[in-house]
């Protein structure tokens, strides 16, 4: 809920990063701004920040950071209904993933595949990907990923009350009310 405050703080941080010339810092800030807009459902506003973050991360030389931004960009393109760009970005990210073998980053990409398949209307594949994200998230206790996976899974269940109850319990353990 406190998106406006977070955005204001990040805009100030962006100015500091620019002043110091840290490409990594600038890319991280652009990514975080894009993520906030994404979670707020303000996809058109998320897109330029994420594209800028991708551009910056290409120069950083940190495949994990680059991959993280690409994975969120996959989700934004899919959520906006631009499946062609979502799939192109997914392919780019998948090739980069082969150089890192980072399991958390793979989980990000699988989350993007859920959205791509949901946008296509392929609920069977989307549900399978959501279950994959859920299993990984439970195994490694990644609560943010788990909540997202549960949210996706709830869309496929005829009676999602138990799923929402679990999401609420997770949020409460993390201090959310």
* pLDDT tens-digit series, residues 81-133: 999 999 999 999 989 888 877 777 788 889 889 989 999 999 999 999 999 99
* pLDDT tens-digit series, residues 28-59: 999 999 999 998 889 999 999 999 999 999 89
% helix, strand, coil for the chain, step of 5:
85, 0, 15
Q: Please state, in angstroms and rounded to a whole number, the distance separating the CA atoms of residues 143 and 173.
A: 10
Other beta carbons less than 10 A from residue 64's beta carbon: 14
Element (H, E) at 101: none
């Amino acid at each position: 809920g406190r998106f406006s405050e977070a955005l204001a703080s990040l805009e100030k941080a962006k100015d500091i990063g620019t002043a110091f010339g840290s490409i990594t810092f600038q890319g991280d800030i652009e990514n975080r701004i894009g993520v906030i807009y994404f979670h707020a459902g303000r996809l058109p506003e998320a897109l330029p920040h994420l594209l800028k973050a991708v551009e910056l991360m290409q120069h950083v030389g940190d495949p994990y950071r680059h991959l993280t931004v690409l994975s969120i960009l996959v989700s934004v393109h899919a959520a906006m209904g631009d499946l062609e760009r979502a799939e192109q970005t997914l392919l780019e990210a998948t090739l980069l993933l082969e150089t890192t073998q980072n399991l958390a980053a793979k989980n990000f990409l699988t989350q993007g595949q859920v959205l791509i398949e949901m946008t296509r209307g392929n609920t069977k594949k989307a549900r399978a990907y959501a279950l994959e994200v859920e299993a990984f998230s439970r195994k490694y206790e990644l609560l943010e990923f788990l909540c997202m996976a549960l949210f996706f899974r709830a869309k496929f269940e005829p009676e999602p009350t138990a799923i929402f109850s679990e999401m609420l319990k997770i949020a409460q353990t993390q201090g959310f009310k």
